[in-house]
């Protein structure tokens, strides 16, 4: 069966520059994905709750003004909530020196200025099957 | 990667967020085990009050749901929300934006919100939305709210989904009211004039009240309310009216409605029960169509009652005027029509078709035709096909009727 990737496109922190996240959301929609879009300024706990309830494959964080530095907090909150099988990607302005810090924290991939929209969509498509597999439940597990 | 402990039925029934979310995904993705899941949930249904909210696009449904959530949690009740957004008929993609308007309460521990793409399903409801409501009901939410795609008349399917049907009408709809009154207003249990601070709200309220007077006698009185969701005005009254309706008719009303509906549908078109195999059937039928292959038409997807085909216009599709030959466009639409009408497993033969061309097409353009089912009886079914260019322009509109034979397809 064809998998329709489910992607959360959001922004955490105090920066309100949301044009980038809107462009990415629209492109992923046109690439055939189901996109949950939120306005900026989301609380980390709210993002975790949303990711669980919507059962998303990917969380895309847009960061244009240093909000990427709190992404490790998000990664910790996801771990604390036992969220597995969900990839976190970050796009926007991330200094090279900070990229390693994000990858260390468990971020799957960082997209820098100049990254093509198609590359983002292709990357998401390439990782979704593994995410689905990791979150999959079978009928047997419905029983105690 | 560390594995989660498997979500169990007990955890779902206990209200565990992840178990609920994964149960919904199982149904949404048509995954194996969903029938067993539905059976397992059956004894736990009919506890929640299920509120259905529908209305034309821009009626303010999501904002209304947000206000309702505020009122519901203030009453110390819990709420599960299913918000349905339309998917693109071309790519299947969606931006699920309802949640953005419900953000205020989305983080509340007594609130669970799930966005659903309609995935091309007619009637404003995502496929199997009723089963998803069941999951939230069984999970113990006091109130379940279903918000459906604002599309118009076809939303009557909300009947089998909610215990009380709330229809939201914004002021200033004018003639738009004509379009919906024959369909969804008829099924309303509660009518709401939203954005009541806008000019024309009183006129809209009077129109609705007048219209109700024309309905046949002997029906329960339908309250007509006014709300200004952003200021919380009229919201408590709306919740009272909705709860009063559910309490008068009994919770689980939707479950009683569902059965006769389903059996009626099966009487009309017994073949639609084989919907699960429809996408494969469409692909299979497309692969053995020599004429489509000759023209370069490819099938890029389909399901029960729908199909999408694509054609890149090359030199061989050009007419003597240097534009795309109308026959090529017709053939593209006709192929989608044929696949959609044969998707149910019974042999369907076209008996009538009409096409209107809207804009010109040149060499190099990529055209997509999407066929959807308008109606289907035991013998006749009608379909609409829209042909669009890759820049989104509507190139041609096609409609057609098939005769449905009792036979299946050979092979």
Q: Is the pLDDT of residue B222 over 70?
A: yes
Predicted confidence (pLDDT) per residue in B344-384, tens digit: 888 999 998 989 898 889 999 999 999 988 888 878 888 99
ipTM: 0.89
For residue B278, the chain A residue with the least C-alpha distance is A1
The pLDDT, as a whole number, for residue B139 is 95
Chain B touched by A69 (CB under 8 Å):
no
Residue A17, pLDDT > 80, answer yes
DSSP label at A62? E
| A38, A55, A134, A135, best to mutate vs chain B, most B CBs in 10 Å | A55
Test mutation, B4, B95, B126, B132, chain A, max A CBs within 10 A: B95
- The topology under which CATH files domain A6-133 is Rossmann fold (3.40.50)
A108 touches chain B (CB under 8 A): no
Q: Do β-strands B366-376 and B306-312 pair in parallel, antiparallel, or remain unpaired?
A: antiparallel
Nearest to B93 among A34, A38, A144 (CB): A34
Q: Give the mean model confidence (pLDDT) for residues B187-216.
A: 83
Contact residues on chain B for A42, CB-CB shorter than 8 A:
103
Contact (Cβ atoms closer than 8 angstroms) between residue B206 and residue B196: no
Q: What is the mean pLDDT of chain B?
A: 82
Nearest-Å Rg of the Cα atoms of chain A is 15
**Cα A65 to chain centroid, rounded:** 18
Question: Mind listing the domains of chain B with CATH numbers?
Answer: 9-267 (3.40.50.300), 271-408 (3.10.129.10)
Say if B143 is an interface residue toward chain A (CB within 8 Å): no
Residue A77, chain B, CB below 8 Å: the answer is no
Q: Residue A140: list chain B partners with CB under 8 A.
A: 6
Q: Does B14 touch chain A (CB under 8 A)?
A: no
Cβ <8 Å between B93 and A28? yes
Indicate the domain borders of chain A. 6-133
Q: Minimal Cα distance from B87: which residue of A? A: A34
* pLDDT recorded at residue B263: 35
Q: Is the pLDDT of residue B198 over 70?
A: yes
User: pLDDT tier at B149 (50, 70, 90 boundaries)?
Assistant: low
Q: Cβ separation of B10 and A144 shorter than 8 Å?
A: yes
CA distance B370 to B394: 11
Contact A85 B1 (CB under 8 A): yes
Question: Is residue B86 over pLDDT 50?
Answer: yes
Distance from CA of B276 to the nearest CA of A (A): 11
Mutate to test the interface with A, among B2, B3, B4 (most CBs of A within 10 A): B4
Say which of A2, A84, A137 has its CB closest to residue B2. A84
Q: What residue of A is the nearest CA neighbor of B13?
A: A142
pLDDT digits (tens, 9 = 90+) for A106-126: 999 999 999 999 999 999 999
Of the candidates B311, B372, B368, which has an alpha carbon nearest to the alpha carbon of residue B340? B372
**Range in B22-31, B32-41, B144-153, B242-251 the model is least confident about:** B144-153
Residues 246-285, chain B, touching A (beta carbon < 8 A): 279
Query: Chain A closest CA to B186's CA: distance in Å?
Result: 32
Instruction: Give long-range contacts, CB 8 A cutoff, 24+ apart: B101-106.
Output: B101/B62, B101/B63, B101/B65, B101/B66, B102/B62, B102/B65, B102/B66, B102/B69, B103/A38, B103/A39, B103/A42, B103/A46, B103/B66, B104/B66, B104/B69, B104/B70, B105/B66, B105/B69, B105/B70, B105/B73, B106/A46, B106/A49, B106/A50
């Amino acid at each position: 069966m064809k998998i329709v990737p489910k992607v959360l496109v959001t922004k955490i922190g105090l920066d309100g520059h949301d044009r980038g996240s809107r462009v990415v959301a629209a492109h992923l929609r046109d690439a055939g994905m189901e996109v949950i879009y939120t306005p900026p300024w989301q609380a980390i706990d709210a993002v975790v709750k949303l990711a669980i309830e919507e059962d998303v494959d990917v969380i895309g964080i847009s960061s244009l003004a240093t909000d990427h530095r709190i992404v490790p907090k998000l990664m910790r909150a996801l771990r604390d909530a036992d969220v597995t099988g969900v990839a976190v990607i970050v796009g926007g302005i991330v200094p090279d020196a900070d990229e390693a810090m994000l990858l260390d924290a468990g971020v799957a991939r960082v997209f820098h200025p100049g990254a093509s929209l198609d590359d983002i969509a292709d990357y998401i498509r390439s990782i979704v099957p593994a995410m689905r597999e990791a979150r999959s439940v079978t009928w047997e597990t419905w029983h105690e | 990667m560390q594995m989660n402990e498997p979500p169990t039925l007990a955890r779902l029934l206990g209200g565990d967020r992840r178990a609920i979310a994964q149960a919904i995904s199982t149904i949404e993705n048509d995954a194996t085990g969903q029938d067993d899941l539905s059976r397992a949930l059956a004894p736990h249904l009919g506890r929640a009050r299920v509120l259905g909210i529908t209305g034309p696009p821009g009626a303010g449904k999501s904002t209304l749901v947000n206000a309702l959530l505020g009122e519901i949690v203030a009453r110390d009740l819990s709420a599960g929300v299913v918000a349905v957004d339309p998917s693109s008929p071309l790519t299947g993609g969606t931006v699920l934006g309802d949640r953005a308007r419900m953000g205020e309460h989305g983080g509340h521990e007594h609130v669970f919100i799930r966005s659903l793409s309609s995935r091309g399903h007619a009637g404003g409801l995502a496929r199997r939305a009723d089963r998803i409501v069941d999951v939230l009901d069984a999970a113990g939410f006091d109130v379940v709210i279903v918000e459906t795609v604002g599309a118009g008349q076809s939303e009557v399917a909300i009947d089998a989904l909610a215990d009380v049907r709330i229809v939201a009408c914004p002021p200033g709809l004018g003639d738009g009211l004509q379009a919906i009154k024959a369909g969804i207003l008829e099924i309303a249990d509660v009518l709401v004039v939203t954005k009541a601070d806008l000019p024309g709200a009183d006129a809209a309220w009077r129109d609705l009240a007048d219209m109700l007077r024309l309905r046949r006698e002997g029906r329960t009185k339908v309250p007509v309310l006014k709300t200004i969701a952003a200021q919380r005005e009229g919201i408590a009254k709306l919740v009272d009216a909705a709860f009063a309706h559910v309490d008068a008719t009994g919770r689980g009303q939707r479950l009683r409605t569902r059965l006769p509906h389903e059996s009626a549908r099966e009487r009309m078109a017994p073949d639609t029960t084989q919907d699960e195999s429809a996408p494969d059937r469409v692909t299979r039928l497309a692969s053995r169509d020599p004429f489509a292959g000759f023209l370069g038409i490819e099938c890029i997807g389909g399901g029960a009652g729908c199909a999408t085909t694509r054609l890149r216009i090359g030199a061989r599709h050009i007419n003597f005027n240097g534009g795309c030959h109308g026959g090529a466009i017709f053939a593209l639409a006709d192929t989608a029509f044929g696949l959609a009408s044969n998707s149910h497993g019974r042999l369907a033969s076209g008996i009538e078709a009409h096409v209107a061309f809207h804009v010109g097409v040149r060499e190099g353009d990529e055209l997509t035709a999407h066929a959807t089912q308008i109606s289907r009886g035991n013998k006749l079914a009608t379909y609409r096909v829209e042909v669009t260019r890759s820049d989104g322009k509507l190139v041609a509109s096609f409609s057609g009727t098939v005769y449905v034979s009792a036979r299946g397809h050979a092979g």
